[in-house]
Amino acid sequence: MTSRRPNVVVFFTDQQRWDTVGVHGNPLELTPNFDRLAGTGTFVANSFTCQPVCGPARSVFQTGRYPTMTGCYRNDIPLPKGERTLAHHFAAAGYDTAYIGKWHLGSAEPVTQEERGGYSYWLASNILEFTSGPFDTVVHDNDGKAVKLPGYRVDALTDAAIRYVASKEDEPFFLFLSFLEPHHQNQTDNYPAPLGYEERIRKKLAIPGDLAALGGTTAEHFPGYLGMVARLDEAFGRLIEALYSLGRLDDTIILFTSDHGCHFKTRNNEYKRSCHEASIRVPTLFHGPGFERLGTYDGLVSLVDLAPTLLAAASLKVPDSMQGISLLDALRGERPPRDEIFIQISEHHVGRALRTRRWKYEIEAPGKDGWRDSGSDFYAEARLYDLEEDPNELRNLIASPDHAQTRAWLRGRIVALMEEAGEAGPEILPVEHENWHGDVLSEG
């Protein structure tokens, strides 16, 4: 039965690099379902998180607001009860709303009803990696009761999502399906793929340029990580086929994206929380009403833009409180595409970054604690990469005298973007040139 409004499904992975999918050039044919829907829908070729860590990124997606505005600038800060989420907006328009998987915006396990962001159907854990193992999926239902789901964790959550979709007949639904994979399993610090997948992938492994140059834990962890990606794509295909079999695919908007990427301990002592492409660039596509066969969208898109895009695609009003801009406006030619992305970095350090078509520029706050401090009124220049000449970000140009004019321009732009995001314009200390040697930096 066709809904008065389109259904909306978000397929949300955790810590997935953009270059794991075939349409971004991965040669291993791990993602045929993503690649096919990217071709029949809208492929967002330049998609970035604006906060490369789990909880803050999720707060952005749910609210369309930067983490420094909601207060969720690091993990373990619950979403304030006054924040309006996608669930609130869709429910007000008559949608049934469902959340399945990892939440990471609550203060307790199980997540109390008051901290579920307005979702009416609930089958989730606050921190799924702590309640579950790869073959031991435990989530909590609407009553806070623990529910054990059989199978590999990706499949267990996908099965639950298919059951939910199959139960909806008359009212439109908004489903947010949030996986842990391909995030590492925290307790064991590894990437547990489905049985046999790591071994198969290891035989034909292709290593991206940044990981090949810098190493980190790539040799140990990358094959299992890619095995998780492959299973996610299979699950994505199963969900698409379920929608098709129910006659709901043509009236369902589908968004596939991730919260951040993974650099395998090459840029700092863990897997993300840096300004580099490996941390911030993610695979993204839209499919369904309003996005049919639009091909590749080449403009830069931020995580903060996704919530207003979904609302606009469902013909719902985008609230003024949202700080992102709907992608539909650019697809319709009503505004020019973005050509810069603003990034807030926390936990590992207090930083702010600007990503343009060509340049990556980061400032860091000396003396500030990335866990305790959400921002600063004083920063120092830390990193500059020329992405055209150095796409793997191996050469930090921040102290290059030949790039002083570029840095001055980027300095002005990042201050303007900080102010647009609701931060106070800081003082930024320009870097000195005396120590410039043009070095290739292993932790740059």
Q: Tell me, what's the pLDDT at 433?
A: 55
Query: Which pLDDT score, from 0 to 100, does residue 2 have?
Result: 47
- Where the chain has pLDDT below 70, the residues are 1-3, 433-444
Q: How far apart are the first and last CA of the chain?
A: 54
- pTM for this entry: 0.96
Task: For the sheet with 295-302, list strands across it.
Answer: 146-149, 137-140, 121-125, 96-102, 173-178, 7-13, 252-258, 284-287, 42-48, 295-302
Q: Is 101 exposed, middle or buried (0-12, 13-18, 19+ CB in 10 A)?
A: buried
* Rounded-to-integer distance, Cα 332 and Cα 297, Å: 11
Spatial neighbors of 419 by CB under 8 A, at least 6 apart, are 425
- pLDDT, one tens digit per residue, over 164-221 is 999 998 889 999 999 999 999 999 999 999 999 999 999 999 999 999 999 999 999 9
The per-residue pLDDT for 169 is: 85
Q: State the chain's maximal CA–CA distance in angstroms.
A: 69
Encode pLDDT of 66-91 as tens digits.
999 999 999 999 999 999 999 999 99
Domains and CATH numbers, the chain: 7-331 (3.40.720.10), 349-429 (3.30.1120.10)
Closest by Cα among 164, 76, 179, 77 to 132: 179
- Please tell me the predicted confidence (pLDDT) of residue 170: 83
Q: What is the pLDDT of residue 439?
A: 45
Check residue 442 and give its pLDDT.
41
Q: In the prediction, which pLDDT does 3 show?
A: 46
